[in-house]
Chains A and B, each alone.
Chain A
Amino acid sequence: MEIATREFKRCAVIEVSGRIDSATAPELAETFNEFTGEGQYNLVLDMGDVDFISSAGLRVLIDTQKTCQRLNRGKLVLADVPEHIYEAFDLAGFVALFDFYDEQVEAVGGF
């Protein structure tokens, strides 16, 4: 898994590539925590280059969404989610918990 981050005026973008599994999910959690620890609760996760995400990664997304949405101070949104990953999100009931955008630029513009 590789992680790249970019900060915009109203949000931060986290671009991930590769596998998000039990081995790599803690590193993604750490990246999210760095932003929320600094008071940035508007986050875009760009999943366009993610090959695979397991429930270990889904737990990180749930925890981060809870942190961001507390006191209505922000939210984590998902961009460019690959089809098979979206199907797993749908099965797990995640579609109702996140805003999905086809492209990163739309997600950034949504803040």
Chain B
Amino acid sequence: MSQQQTRTFPARYDSLAAIDRFVADAAERAGFDSGAIYQVQLAVDEACSNIIEHAYGGEGRGVIECSRHIEDGDLRVVIRDYGQPFDPSTVPEPDVDADLEERTGGGLGLFFIRHIMDEVTFDFDIENGNVLTLVKRKESAC
């Protein structure tokens, strides 16, 4: 799978399972171990959930374009939406050592994305929308 493959999904929560299969299939072909495949699934699910909830402000208001590409054993997933621009620096890092009462569960999605992928890049422009690039390198995945 040296060439890039792109698929477009309705921006709905019931698309998440299909997006999951699309990227997990690529991670399997890249030869990743089961833990790394799970991490890619988690990061992509969190990214797409955030797009539906925050960029589009709800279900059924746009599309999510997902591309997968394996190069030199590394997996690159590019996720594009055409919702509101997203500035990840506005999302505070959750305190994962806090007591139960202080936990809200907010910010965990972005926290997972940042901690389990090797490269995380957010881009936005009017024509191209929000573009999130996620890379899992073979060194951390096999």
Instruction: Report B-chain residues with C-beta under 8 Å of the C-beta of A52.
Output: 20, 38, 41-42, 45
Query: Can you list 26 contacts pairing A with B, beta carbon distance less than 8 Å?
Result: A19-B17, A22-B16, A22-B49, A22-B52, A23-B14, A23-B17, A54-B42, A54-B49, A55-B46, A55-B49, A55-B105, A59-B108, A62-B100, A62-B104, A66-B101, A84-B35, A87-B35, A88-B42, A91-B112, A91-B116, A92-B96, A92-B111, A92-B112, A93-B97, A97-B100, A97-B103
Q: Which 6 A-B pairs have the closest CB atoms?
A: A93-B96, A59-B105, A23-B13, A55-B108, A84-B38, A22-B13
- Number of residues from A at the complex interface, CB < 8 A: 25
> A91: nearest residue on chain B (CB-CB)?
B115
Q: Is B34 an interface residue (CB 8 A)?
A: yes
Mostly helix, strand, loop or mixed at chain A's interface? helix
A-B pairs with beta carbons under 8 A, tally:
79
Is the CB–CB distance between B109 and A55 below 8 Å?
yes
The proximity string for B residues 15-34 relative to A, scoring 1 for CB distances below 8 Å and 0 otherwise, is 01100100000000000001
> Using a CB–CB distance below 8 Å, which chain A residues touch chain B?
19, 21-23, 52, 54-56, 58-59, 62-63, 65-66, 69, 83-85, 87-88, 91-93, 96-97
